């Protein structure tokens, strides 16, 4: 065999391997979708009929647990938190990218430091704070959308600050300097000139915060009772009460994955740029 | 400091104020309060008194770390070693497989862009869905894993039990790695594309084979990316909660009980809040030690990036 033929065969083999790896990685997702279209008994006995899907599980699951409520709560809470986190992270990220001020190094280190605190350490104090507010003030944070929105904003702002800083560093300074020569104040220059140029970063940050908030379980468990419960709680209740109805559990899994899959792939180009810019630049 | 500088600094303080306020109110003050609780004897009987519960000093820490007669001590050492095992395997498998797949997909072949994008899917599946999906897949009789291994492919004769006993650790590691690989791959592909192709071409002309080029060009240039992923990967894995909790319940059993599941169970099911806060503080201290070690090992790489 000549060197070129051998190289062609190796290349062909590696291509086949790439597609094989993709199939293996996607197989569990395929099974999530496929099993949601089977009946409970087919899943239990293993007599799958993938060619004749049924969508009964998708209609039954809404009645088994109050899934509509969980879904609506998750959408409201995660959008709210992602919006606040993006706003605060972009202003703080801009400050760190452009200005040197006393305490900026301490601030940066504290921002990273928050990521080292296990949720279990400050969960109880946050809960107690919410209870205290409920008993002593008209501020209602326990089992409300606002309560979880505030907590999640705090959770996902720190890393988002680093994303946004990387995005702002890539925008030339001359842009806002020109705007200020034209009579803009510093804040107007930031709002009207810099932010629109950082749209990909803003979108990436919003989606990052949304995805991670969607995933949060621990604080949602402790800080909600009934009204503000989110999807992870719904899934846990499903497992607790309908443990044999795997078709419905998988249907619930499909429904709770769809919003984030859509958000991710719709903004994928920008998000990937944001994530890799943050990581590659450290 | 001139007037212009002062106004710039004041503007910067306004910009960081909202994020700083959230950090102080949600992270810093409650964390300080949590550390204070770890010094109290806070349990079912004293819970009403909260911050006025009897002072215990370092008793909680003493019984967790050194009192071998105390069942809480053995619960802690078991969960701590499980967490170390889970973290080491999850992080190393994720990084090694993520890098291997990145190398495989960073070649030009038909459909490579589509393949790279689709490969990200597992990372977008929420971890509570990952846990419930794999819990179903790991079922002994009805699960697809055993169906494949035993019935369809015949790799094993006896149906393994995944969700009880020794295998439970792997039942949580494998889904964690599966969900983590796409992100590692994404970061590594970005890093690989930043390597100038001339470096490889020049080395190839000098007679360096693929392994030598990987070892002496690719790997050193990817070091900063490996460093940053090690840092966050270890922290994220050490604080893993959703996957064992959803898959195995509040008590995942001695083989898969992680520190986070132990803390939450002892705090909220058994009302041992002081004990839970002490274990949390120890876990946080361990992560500070990890960051210090990490910083010593990778300091040079960080300077290169900046």
Reduced 3-state DSSP string for chain A: CCHHHHHHHHHHHHHHHHHHHHHHHHHHHHHHHHHHCCCHHHHHHCCCCCCCCCCHHHHHHHHHCCHHHHHHHHHHHHHHHHHHHHHHHHHHHHHHHHCCCCCHHHHHHHHHHHHHCCHHHHHHHHHHHHHHHHHHCCCCCCCCHHHHHHHHHHHHHHHHHHHHHHHHHCCCCHHHHHHHHCCCCHHHHHHHHHHHHCHHHHHHHHHHHHHHHHHCCHHHHHHCCCCCCCHHHHHHHHHHHCCCCHHHHHHHHHHHHHHHHHHHHHCHHHHHHHHHHHHHCC
Select from B126, B235, B273 the Cβ nearest to the Cβ of A214: B126
A133 in contact with B, Cβ within 8 Å: no
**pLDDT at position B163 over 70:** yes
User: Using the beta-carbon criterion (under 8 Å), do A121 and B11 form an inter-chain contact?
Assistant: no
What are the residues facing B55 on neighbouring strands?
B40
Which positions in chain A touch B143 (Cβ < 8 Å)?
Answer: none
- For B62, the 3-state DSSP assignment is helix
Q: How many other C-beta atoms can be found within 10 angstroms of the C-beta atom of residue A180?
A: 14
Q: In this predicted structure, what is the pLDDT of residue B4?
A: 72
Reading the block at residue B248, the tokens are: 């195995």
**pLDDT at position B172 over 60:** yes
Question: Quick one: closest CA in B to A217, which residue?
Answer: B242
Q: In this predicted structure, what is the pLDDT of residue B298?
A: 92
User: Using the beta-carbon criterion (under 8 Å), do A22 and B119 form an inter-chain contact?
Assistant: yes
Distance separating alpha carbons of residues A245 and B127, to the nearest angstrom? 20
Q: In this predicted structure, what is the pLDDT of residue A44?
A: 84
- ipTM of predicted assembly, 2 dp: 0.92
Q: Nearest C-alpha of chain B: how many angstroms from A145?
A: 16
Residue with tokens 């938190």: A81
Higher pLDDT, A75 or B67: A75
User: Using the beta-carbon criterion (under 8 Å), do A250 and B9 form an inter-chain contact?
Assistant: no
Tell me what percent of chain B is helix, strand and coil, each rounded to the nearest 5. 75, 0, 25
Question: Quick one: closest CA in B to A213, which residue?
Answer: B126
Total residues belonging to chain A: 282
What contacts B23, CB < 8 A, 6 or more positions away?
A110, A111, A114, A154, A157, A158
A23 in contact with B, Cβ within 8 Å: no
What are the residues facing B40 on neighbouring strands?
B55
User: Using the beta-carbon criterion (under 8 Å), do B12 and A122 form an inter-chain contact?
Assistant: no
Select from A18, A99, A111 the Cβ nearest to the Cβ of B104: A18
Distance separating alpha carbons of residues B289 and A153, to the nearest angstrom? 27
Distance separating alpha carbons of residues A264 and A79, to the nearest angstrom? 14
Q: Nearest C-alpha of chain A: how many angstroms from B68?
A: 24
Predicted confidence (pLDDT) per residue in B76-125, tens digit? 999 999 999 999 999 999 999 999 999 999 999 999 999 999 999 999 99
B269 in contact with A, Cβ within 8 Å: no
CA distances from residue B212 to A89, B192, B200 in whole angstroms, order as listed? 43, 16, 10
Distance separating alpha carbons of residues B83 and B259, to the nearest angstrom? 6
Reading the block at residue A113, the tokens are: 């430091």
User: Using the beta-carbon criterion (under 8 Å), do B306 and A282 form an inter-chain contact?
Assistant: yes
B234 in contact with A, Cβ within 8 Å: no
Cα end-to-end span (Å), chain B: 27
Which positions in chain A touch B97 (Cβ < 8 Å)?
Answer: none
Q: How many other C-beta atoms can be found within 10 angstroms of the C-beta atom of residue A244?
A: 11
- Among candidate residues B104, B134, B129, the one with its CA nearest the CA of residue B116: B104
Q: In this predicted structure, what is the pLDDT of residue A270?
A: 82
User: Using the beta-carbon criterion (under 8 Å), do B302 and A282 form an inter-chain contact?
Assistant: yes
Question: Quick one: closest CA in B to A27, which residue?
Answer: B122
Q: Nearest C-alpha of chain A: how many angstroms from B166?
A: 22
- For B55, the 3-state DSSP assignment is strand
CA distances from residue A236 to A41, A67, A243, B130 in whole angstroms, order as listed? 22, 12, 10, 12
Q: In this predicted structure, what is the pLDDT of residue A282?
A: 43
Q: In this predicted structure, what is the pLDDT of residue B305?
A: 47
Distance separating alpha carbons of residues A91 and A167, to the nearest angstrom? 12
A16 in contact with B, Cβ within 8 Å: no
pLDDT, one tens digit for every residue, chain A (282 residues): 688 898 899 999 999 999 999 999 999 999 999 999 998 888 888 888 888 888 888 988 888 888 899 999 999 999 999 999 999 999 999 999 999 889 999 999 999 899 999 999 999 999 999 999 999 999 999 999 999 999 999 999 999 998 899 889 888 888 888 998 888 888 999 999 999 989 888 998 999 999 999 999 999 999 998 899 999 999 998 888 877 789 999 999 999 999 999 999 898 888 877 777 665 554
Cα atoms found within 13 Å of the Cα of residue B21, Cβ hemisphere only:
9
- Among candidate residues A246, A50, A51, the one with its CA nearest the CA of residue B142: A246
User: Using the beta-carbon criterion (under 8 Å), do A239 and B129 form an inter-chain contact?
Assistant: no
What contacts B283, CB < 8 A, 6 or more positions away?
A118, A120, A121, B238, B239, B259, B260, B263
Distance separating alpha carbons of residues A254 and B163, to the nearest angstrom? 23
Q: Nearest C-alpha of chain A: how many angstroms from B209?
A: 13
Residue with tokens 């107007």: A188
Predicted confidence (pLDDT) per residue in B111-159, tens digit? 999 999 999 999 999 999 999 999 999 999 889 999 999 988 988 888 9
Distance separating alpha carbons of residues B177 and B101, to the nearest angstrom? 13
The conformation of residue B262, written as its DSSP 8-state character, comes to H
Reading the block at residue B218, the tokens are: 């690719």
B84 in contact with A, Cβ within 8 Å: no
Reading the block at residue B180, the tokens are: 């983590």
What contacts B159, CB < 8 A, 6 or more positions away?
B140, B141, B146, B150
Backbone angles phi, psi at B262, to 5 degrees: -60, -50
Select from B119, B187, B239 the Cβ nearest to the Cβ of A118: B239
Q: Please state the pTM of the whole predicted model.
A: 0.93
Backbone angles phi, psi at B91, to 5 degrees: -70, -45
**pLDDT at position B282 over 80:** yes
User: Using the beta-carbon criterion (under 8 Å), do A215 and B12 form an inter-chain contact?
Assistant: no
Distance separating alpha carbons of residues A76 and A141, to the nearest angstrom? 15
Reading the block at residue B8, the tokens are: 């710039």
Q: In this predicted structure, what is the pLDDT of residue B189?
A: 94
B31 in contact with A, Cβ within 8 Å: yes
Distance separating alpha carbons of residues A139 and A132, to the nearest angstrom? 10
Output the average pLDDT for chain B.
91
Out of A109-118, A259-268, B51-60, B224-233, pick the least confident.
Answer: B51-60
């Amino acid at each position: 065999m000549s060197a070129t033929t051998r190289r062609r065969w190796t290349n062909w083999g590696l291509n086949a391997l790439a597609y094989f790896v993709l199939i293996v990685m996607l197989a569990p997702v395929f099974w999530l979708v496929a099993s949601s279209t089977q009946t409970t008994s087919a899943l239990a006995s293993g007599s799958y009929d993938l060619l004749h899907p049924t969508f009964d599980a998708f209609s039954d699951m809404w009645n088994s647990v109050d899934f509509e409520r969980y879904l609506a709560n998750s959408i409201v809470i995660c959008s709210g938190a992602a919006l606040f986190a993006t706003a605060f992270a972009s202003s703080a990220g801009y400050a760190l990218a452009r200005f040197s001020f006393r305490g900026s190094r301490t601030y940066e280190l504290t921002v990273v430091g928050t990521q080292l605190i296990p949720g279990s350490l400050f969960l109880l104090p946050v809960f107690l704070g919410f209870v205290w507010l409920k008993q002593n003030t008209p501020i209602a944070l326990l089992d409300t959308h606002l309560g979880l929105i505030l907590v999640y904003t705090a959770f996902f702002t720190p890393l988002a600050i680093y994303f946004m800083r990387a995005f702002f560093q890539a925008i030339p300074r001359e842009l806002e300097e020109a705007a200020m020569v034209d009579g803009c104040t510093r804040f107007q220059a930031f709002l009207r000139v810099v932010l629109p140029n950082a749209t990909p970063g803003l979108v990436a940050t919003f989606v990052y915060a949304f995805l991670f908030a969607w995933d949060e379980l621990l604080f949602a468990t402790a800080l909600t009772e009934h009204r503000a419960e989110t999807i992870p709680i719904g899934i846990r209740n499903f497992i607790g009460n309908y443990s044999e109805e795997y078709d419905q559990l998988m249907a619930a899994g499909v429904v709770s994955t769809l919003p984030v899959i859509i958000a991710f792939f719709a903004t994928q180009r920008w998000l990937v740029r944001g994530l890799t810019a943050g990581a590659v630049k450290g | 400091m001139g007037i212009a500088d002062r106004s710039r600094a004041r503007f910067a303080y306004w910009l960081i104020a909202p994020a700083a306020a959230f950090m102080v109110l949600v992270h810093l003050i409650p964390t300080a309060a949590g550390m204070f609780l770890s010094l109290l004897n806070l349990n079912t009987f004293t819970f009403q008194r909260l911050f006025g519960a009897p002072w215990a000093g370092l008793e909680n820490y003493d019984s967790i770390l050194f009192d071998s007669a105390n069942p809480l001590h053995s619960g802690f050492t078991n969960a701590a070693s499980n967490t170390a095992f889970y973290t080491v395997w999850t992080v190393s498998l994720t990084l090694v497989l993520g890098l291997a797949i990145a190398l495989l997909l960073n070649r030009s072949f038909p459909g490579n862009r589509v393949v790279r994008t689709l490969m990200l899917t597992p990372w977008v599946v929420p971890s509570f869905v990952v846990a419930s999906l794999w819990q179903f897949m790991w079922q002994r009789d009805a699960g697809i894993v055993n169906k494949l291994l035993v019935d369809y492919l015949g790799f094993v004769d006896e149906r393994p039990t995944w969700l009880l006993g020794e295998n439970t650790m792997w039942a949580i590691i494998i889904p964690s790695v599966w969900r983590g690989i796409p992100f590692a791959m994404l970061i590594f592909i970005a890093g690989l594309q930043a390597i100038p192709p001339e470096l490889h071409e020049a080395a190839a002309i000098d007679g360096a084979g693929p392994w030598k080029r990987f070892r002496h060009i690719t790997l050193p240039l990817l070091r900063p990316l490996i460093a940053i992923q090690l840092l966050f990967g270890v922290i994220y894995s050490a604080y893993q909660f959703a996957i064992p909790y959803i898959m195995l319940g509040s008590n995942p059993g001695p083989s898969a009980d992680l520190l986070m599941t132990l803390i939450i169970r002892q705090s909220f099911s058994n009302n041992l809040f002081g004990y839970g806060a002490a274990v949390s503080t120890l876990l946080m201290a361990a992560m500070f030690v990890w960051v210090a070690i990490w910083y010593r090992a990778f300091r040079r790489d960080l300077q290169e990036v900046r």
